[in-house]
Amino acid sequence: MKMTGSTLFQALRVIKSNATEVDFLAHLDKQLEVKQEYVSFGDEVIDRLHDQCLNSPRAQQYLKGRGIVDHDTYKLGYSEAQDMVTIPQYDPSGTICVGFVGRSVEGKEFKNTPKLPKSKILFNLHRVKQSSTAYVVESSFDAIRLHQQGISAVATLGANVSIKQCDLLLKYFNQVVVIGDNDEAGKMMAAKVLTKVKNRGIIITLPDRFKDIGELTTDDIEKLHIRVKDPITLLGG
């Protein structure tokens, strides 16, 4: 009955028929089959792109200009064919690479691998989920900028925040500090997260002179970390 989804009467008829053991095993295999939630990218792809990044003066210069100095922790890569820096994205456990986010070296073009489950993951979550506080930003690069300085940051991979992402924040963190980009989409993102996490969250608003975390200096980021309990004034207001 369990293997075939039959009623008792139907199951008895099958047993009395000439059904073979193979038939039952086929049904059992179908019942036990688990649909993969994520498409996994192997280490060979990550390592190949990472090696290209380490050996590309163009990629190195770009990352340096973004204030990103730690390339190994995040396995940052570089696609020569597309002239894009690549950032591996992992499932919440950190065991499965579920895709890549690419950012063009020239201009501001973004490209994700097909079917990247953005709504089900938070960039960098597996590295910081033992922390009590999460700093939530939009882009992977912004999260890296903070994390390099010892700040437990995750990224939503855009201004559209899903319920699943908010659930992950609630599951792993006691306090959520939201720092959206300094535009309308960023403000809406921050407000949505705050609505979901309620009393666990605060919003930090960057001064008008900064578009996002990426424009902050190292000293600015340190001040941000120190003054996290003040959601109104930051870096001089």
Maximum Cα–Cα distance across the chain: 82
At residue 234, the pLDDT reads: 36
Q: Where are the domains of the chain?
A: 36-116, 117-230
At residue 107, the pLDDT reads: 87
What digits encode the pLDDT tens for the residues 101-144?
Answer: 999 999 889 999 998 999 999 999 999 999 999 999 999 999 99
Q: Do domains 36-116 and 117-230 have the same CATH topology?
A: no
Each as own residue / partner, the long-range contacts of residues 60-65 (CB below 8 Å, 24 or more positions apart, any chain) are: 62/105
Q: Residue 136's closest CA among 63, 74, 212? A: 212
User: What angle separates helix 43-54 from helix 57-65, to the nearest 10 degrees?
Assistant: 80
At residue 15, the pLDDT reads: 75
Q: Please classify residue 226 by burial: count the beta carbons closer than 10 Å to its beta carbon, then call 0-12 exposed, 13-18 middle and 19+ buried.
A: exposed
What digits encode the pLDDT tens for the residues 141-197?
Answer: 999 999 999 999 999 999 999 999 999 999 999 999 999 999 999 999 999 999 999
Is a pLDDT exceeding 70 seen at residue 30?
no
- Which CATH number is associated with domain 36-116? 3.90.980.10
| Check whether domain 117-230 has CATH 3.40.1360.10, yes or no | yes
0.85 surpassed by pTM:
no
CA–CA separation, 204 and 220 (whole Å): 13
Q: What percent of the chain has pLDDT over 70?
A: 82
CA–CA separation, 76 and 54 (whole Å): 9
At residue 26, the pLDDT reads: 58
Residue pair 141/158 in contact (Cβ under 8 Å)? The answer is no
At residue 232, the pLDDT reads: 38
Q: Using the Cα atoms of residue 120, residue 76, residue 179 and residue 111 in order, give the sign of their dihedral.
A: negative
What integer best gives the mean pLDDT of the chain?
Answer: 86
CA–CA separation, 52 and 89 (whole Å): 18
The mean per-residue pLDDT over the stretch 200-227 comes to: 85
What digits encode the pLDDT tens for the residues 55-72?
Answer: 999 999 999 999 999 999
Burial 5-31 (b: 16+ CB within 10 A, else e): eeeeeeeeebeeeeeeeeeeeebeeee
- The three-class DSSP label of residue 111 is strand
At residue 237, the pLDDT reads: 35
Q: Residue 90's closest CA among 60, 128, 64? A: 128
At residue 109, the pLDDT reads: 92
